[in-house]
């Protein structure tokens, strides 16, 4: 996508420090997502903690795909998905596919969504999370060739929807400040 700079005004010189700053701000969404995912694997002493990993990945990819898709491009989503598959002992490719599909849906809906309030984004995300946990459940069953109880899938869906505000509120703050390349 060719990026044409239409903003008027005087720009600071593209020094090395400034470019580093812009890069760091662009990398922030992916970095914070991966960091949170790794943290969720440490022993926090929370029962059924395993559901946090897919929940964080789904929530984070949804938020940044809606608000800053430039900082969450498909290759990064692919990498995050692969990391969830590896860390969460899912069959390889399950979360990769689910997150890419979620990213695609977010891109398609982002124009309508970014104009609405947070509640609306959350409601749409709830539908997305339900679909995603269903897809994960079905893919795991197909790839391991065995029937699995639907309860873990339901639980992942509920946790994903429940923790979204916990992720989204600080992310929204970061979106306006540290993750904003225009502030560099």
Partner 1 sequence: MARLTLPVLIVVSFGVMLLGKADTLLAERARIALADGLVPIYAVLSSPLSQIQESITETATLWTMREENARLRDENEKLRRWQSIALALDAENQRLKASLQWIPDADASYVTARVVADAGGAYAKAVLLSVGPNHGVRKGEIAVDERGLIGRITEVGSRTARVLLITDLNSRIPVIMETSRAHAILVGTNGTRPRLQYWPEGIVPKEGERIVTSAEANAFPANLPIGTVHYTASGAADVEPAALLQKLEVVRIFDYGLNGVVPPERPTPGRH
Report the residue number, 20 or 46, with the smaller CB distance to partner 1.
46
Q: Give the C-alpha separation, 134 to 119, whole Å.
A: 23
Burial class (CB in 10 A: 0-12, 13-18, 19+), 59: buried
Contacts of 78 (CB under 8 A, 6+ apart): 96, 99, 100
CB of 116 to partner 1, least distance (A): 24
CB of 41 to partner 1, least distance (A): 5
Report the residue number, 7 or 146, with the smaller CB distance to partner 1.
146
Closest CA to 153 of 179, 133, 131, 129: 133
CB of 66 to partner 1, least distance (A): 15
CB of 15 to partner 1, least distance (A): 28
Q: Is residue 139 a contact partner of residue 94, using CB atoms and an 8 Å limit?
A: yes
In the block, residue with structure tokens 């290759």: 75
Report the residue number, 60 or 96, with the smaller CB distance to partner 1.
96
Residue ranges in contact with partner 1 by CB under 8 A: 1, 38-39, 41-45, 47, 49-51, 53-54, 73-75, 77-78, 81-82, 85-94, 96-97, 100-101, 103-104, 107, 139-140, 143-144, 146, 148-149, 152-153, 155-156
């Amino acid at each position: 996508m060719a990026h044409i700079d239409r903003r008027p005004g005087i720009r600071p010189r593209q020094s090395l420090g400034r470019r580093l700053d812009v890069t760091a701000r662009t990398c922030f969404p992916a970095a914070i997502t991966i960091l949170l995912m790794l943290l969720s694997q440490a022993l926090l002493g929370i029962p059924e903690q395993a559901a946090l990993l897919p929940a964080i990945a789904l929530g984070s990819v949804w938020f940044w795909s809606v608000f800053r898709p430039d900082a969450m491009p498909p290759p990064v989503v692919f990498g995050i998905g692969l990391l969830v598959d590896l860390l969460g002992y899912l069959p390889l490719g399950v979360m990769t596919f689910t997150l890419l599909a979620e990213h695609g849906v977010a891109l398609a809906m982002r124009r309508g969504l970014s104009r609405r309030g947070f509640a609306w984004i959350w409601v749409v995300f709830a539908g997305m999370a339900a679909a995603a946990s269903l897809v994960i459940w079905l893919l795991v069953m197909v790839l391991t060739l065995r029937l699995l109880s639907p309860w873990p899938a339901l639980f992942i869906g509920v946790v994903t929807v429940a923790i979204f505000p916990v992720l989204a509120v600080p992310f929204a703050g970061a979106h306006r400040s540290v993750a904003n390349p225009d502030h560099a």
